[in-house]
Copies of this chain bind each other. A is one copy, B any other.
Amino acid sequence: MTGLPSDNHLPDNQVAAARARLAACFDVWSAGDFDLSLCPVRGVLDHLGDKWTTLIVIVLALRPHRFSEIRRAIPDISKRMLTQTLRDLERDGLIARRVFPTKPPSVEYSLTALGQSLLEPLTALVTWAEASRPAIEAARTAFETAEAAVP
C-alpha cells in the first residue's frame, strides 16, 4: 500500500471541535441514568444499523418511489422487511406515505423535510466510509497477518 498522505498532517480544529461536542454529549448522557434508550442518538444509530434502512433512505432520496419500485430497486429485500422498515421510518417522520385510491391501490413513499435533512450527515458518513475503505482494508490484512504470526 501507499503511504498514507492524508493521515500525517493531523487535526484540524475540526477534530478538536468534534471531540469537544462529543465530550459535552457524553457528559450529559452519563450524568443521568445512562439509559441508552433515552438517548436520541441511539435510536438513530440503531436504525441506520438496521440492514435496510439506509438503503431505503438513499433510494427515496433519488426520487419518490412506490412500494414495488423500491422492491425492484433493492432486489434482496423481502416484502416483510420493506413494510416494516418503511413503517419505522414513517413513524419517525423521516418519510411520508401517500395512498392513491386507484383501482389497484398504489402507495408512494417520499422523504420528508426531516428525512432530507438526514441526507447531509448520512452522506458525510458514506463519504468517509468510501475514503477510508483502503485504510480499513489495509488494517484488516495487517491485523490478520499479525495474529497469524503469534499463535
Residues of A within 8 A of B (CB): 2, 4, 6-11, 14-15, 17-19, 21-23, 25-26, 30, 34, 36, 40-41, 43-46, 48-51, 54, 58-59, 61-64, 73-76, 90-94, 96, 110-114, 116-130, 132-133, 135-136, 138-140, 142-143
Contacts and interface: CB of A to CB of B under 8 A. Distances in A.
Nearest to A119: B18
A59 B59 CA distance: 34
A45 B23 CA distance: 22
Contact of A21 (B30, B118, B127): B127
B10 A143 contact: no
Nearest to A9: B113
Contacts of A17: 123
A60 to B, nearest CB: 10
Given A7-B112, A11-B116, 13 more contacts: A8-B113, A8-B116, A19-B61, A22-B123, A30-B73, A40-B129, A40-B136, A41-B130, A44-B129, A45-B129, A92-B139, A118-B132, A121-B125
